[in-house]
Amino acid sequence: METVNIKELNEKIQRESAFTDMITLEMNKVIVGQKHLVENLLIGLLADGHILLEGVPGLAKTLAINTLASIMDAKFNRIQFTPDLLPADLIGTQIYSQKSEQFQIKKGPIFANFVLADEINRSPAKV
């Protein structure tokens, strides 16, 4: 059985996780009083998962995601769900250009590293 040196393991963990401390520090410069939110965002990011943010208006949910995307130099899009939203509004569409006589793809807001879907309960079932 292989023995593990706890001191070496702890040092390796500190080295490998140093970037999370930097992200947390930068997030705390913008987001004040939301330590739990910042920690959960990092957990979701490290776990390569999705995150559901729920709360009353004014708790910096949008600002937190936007700040995290800025820190990581990633693309951020916010989608405001409304009753008249169509699937093409999310994924994009093809637009014909008379100049080039070709279709050009206009990507929707879903093509981003961080997507904030706001007020999903307002969207129609087809979306």
What would the pLDDT profile of 80-99 be if each residue is shown by its tens digit? 999 999 999 999 999 998 99
- Does the pLDDT of residue 38 top 70, yes or no? yes
Summarize the chain as % helix, strand, coil (round to 5). 45, 15, 40
Beta strands, E only, 50-122: 76-80, 92-97, 102-107, 114-118
Residue 54 is assigned to a structural domain of this protein: yes
Residue 36 is assigned to a structural domain of this protein: yes
pTM of the model: 0.78
The domain total for the chain is 1
Asked whether the beta carbons of 24 and 42 are under 8 A apart, the reply is yes
Phi, psi of 4 (to 5 degrees): -115, 130
5-36: pLDDT as tens digits: 888 888 888 888 888 999 999 999 999 989 99
Taking residues 106-124, report their average pLDDT: 91
Residue 13 is assigned to a structural domain of this protein: yes
Residue 122 is assigned to a structural domain of this protein: no
Range of the domain at 20: 6-74
Residue 97 is assigned to a structural domain of this protein: no
What secondary structure letter does DSSP report for 122?
Answer: G
Residue 117 is assigned to a structural domain of this protein: no
Asked whether the beta carbons of 40 and 7 are under 8 A apart, the reply is no
Residue 82 is assigned to a structural domain of this protein: no
